[in-house]
């Protein structure tokens, strides 16, 4: 499997990253280990998790995902793998995580120690802020509302605490997630100004029906040498096509409807049908079209895939052999112009 350099780091990450947020909720520990084994056998060297996982988040299961990854990781050759995890941000409740998570020195130190213990490792290769400490519109919200602003830890203070972890050898590189162009720029500016660790990656949603990354973040990340880790490339299963065939099909949409608001917006069904038509005309599945498109973008360092069954995972992994023709890419652009970002 092809490897890409992750931003300004020396990490060479597989073009497919195994996402693990189903481990501990939809997948048992045995399921998790089987998925990890399959991914590694296909050439994946990059695993992404988070202290918050599994999803949907619950106090009873929080941390199980890292625990399942850790019980597998202790039997592997650690230096051959790139393990990423995330610290939970505020603004979404989750009072069971450190009494209400923040991104400050005390919380960062407590969070990394918990993750390292669950992962059964001395270090993580990439430590990411799951979403900003400050208010930003995200997870389907697109307009900035100043009435939602709240007290926040300064970006400089966050960087100082994260850089200390790098100096201590507990973290190799730091990254962001669910960030904005201003946020990336400010993290970069503060790091340069104070000689602190640089952000090397951003993990944001990116798929055929949400290409908002291309507007401002693509420019910032190019000039600041930040790699995109594209999550939700199948739009919570919608771009697998299964809900086109059966709106009541078994999956996360049915199991966790609270996470599907962004896929209930205007033009989503029309866009899905249009992309499905392109895929069928090209002799591809919609899954193949969707994942190959994300991989084809110049700014994508790795595409994060997740699955609940080995059959789904196998299908996703084998899309690395699919390359989209110029004609297919042109057809995708025409649909994008007609239905721009219906599910941001």
- Per-residue pLDDT of 47-75, as tens digits, reads 999 999 999 999 999 999 999 999 999 99
* Those residues with Cβ within 8 angstroms of residue 246's Cβ, 6 or more apart along the chain or in another chain: none
| Ordered domains of the chain (ranges, CATH) | 3-237+298-323 (3.20.20.100)
Task: State the pLDDT at residue 319.
Answer: 97
Paired tokens of 84: 């990423």
Question: How far apart are alpha carbons 237 and 22 in whole angstroms?
Answer: 13
Burial degree of 228 (CB within 10 A; 0-12, 13-18, 19+): buried
The pLDDT tens digits of the residues spanning 188-224 come to 999 999 999 999 999 999 999 999 999 999 999 999 9
Of the listed 42, 53, 173, 206, which one is catalytic? 53
Q: What pTM value is reported for the model?
A: 0.96
For 276, the 3-state DSSP assignment is helix
127 is known as an active-site residue:
no
* pLDDT range class, residue 263, cuts 50, 70, 90: confident
Q: Please, which residues bridge with residue 207 across strands?
A: 210
Tell me the HSE value of 15 on the side-chain side, using a 13 A CA sphere. 20
Q: What is the mean pLDDT of the chain?
A: 95
For residue 294, what is the enclosing H or E element? Answer: helix 286-296
Q: Please, which residues bridge with residue 5 across strands?
A: 12
């Amino acid at each position: 499997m092809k490897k890409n350099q992750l931003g300004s780091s020396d990490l060479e990450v597989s073009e497919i990253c195994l996402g693990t947020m189903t481990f501990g909720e939809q997948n048992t520990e045995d399921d998790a280990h089987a998925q990890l084994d399959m991914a590694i056998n296909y050439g994946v060297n990059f695993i992404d998790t988070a202290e918050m996982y599994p999803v949907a988040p619950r106090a009873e299961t929080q941390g199980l995902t890292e625990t399942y990854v850790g019980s597998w990781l202790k039997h592997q050759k650690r230096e051959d793998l790139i393990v990423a995890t995330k610290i939970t941000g505020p603004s979404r409740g989750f009072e069971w995580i450190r009494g209400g998570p923040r991104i400050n020195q005390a919380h960062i130190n407590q969070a990394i120690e918990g993750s390292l213990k669950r992962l059964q490792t001395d270090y993580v290769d990439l430590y990411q802020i799951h979403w900003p400490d400050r208010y930003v519109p995200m997870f389907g919200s697109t307009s900035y509302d100043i009435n939602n602003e709240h007290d926040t830890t300064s970006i400089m203070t966050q960087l100082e605490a994260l850089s200390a972890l790098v100096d201590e050898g507990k973290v190799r590189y730091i990254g962001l997630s669910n960030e904005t162009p201003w946020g990336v720029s400010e993290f970069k500016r503060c790091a340069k100004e104070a000689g602190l660790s640089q952000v090397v990656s951003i993990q944001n949603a990116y798929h055929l029906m949400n290409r908002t990354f291309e507007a401002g973040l693509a420019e910032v990340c190019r000039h600041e040498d930040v790699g995109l880790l594209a999550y939700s490339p199948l739009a919570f299963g919608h771009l697998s096509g299964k809900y086109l065939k059966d709106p009541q099909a078994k999956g996360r949409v049915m199991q966790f409807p609270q996470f599907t608001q962004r896929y209930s917006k205007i033009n989503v069904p029309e866009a899905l049908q249009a992309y499905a038509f392109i895929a069928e005309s090209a002799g591809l599945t919609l899954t193949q079209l969707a994942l190959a498109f994300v991989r084809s973008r110049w700014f994508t360092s790795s595409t994060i895939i997740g699955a609940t069954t080995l059959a789904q995972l196998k299908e996703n992994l084998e899309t690395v052999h699919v390359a989209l023709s110029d004609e297919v890419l042109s057809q995708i652009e025409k649909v994008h112009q007609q239905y721009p970002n219906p599910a941001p």
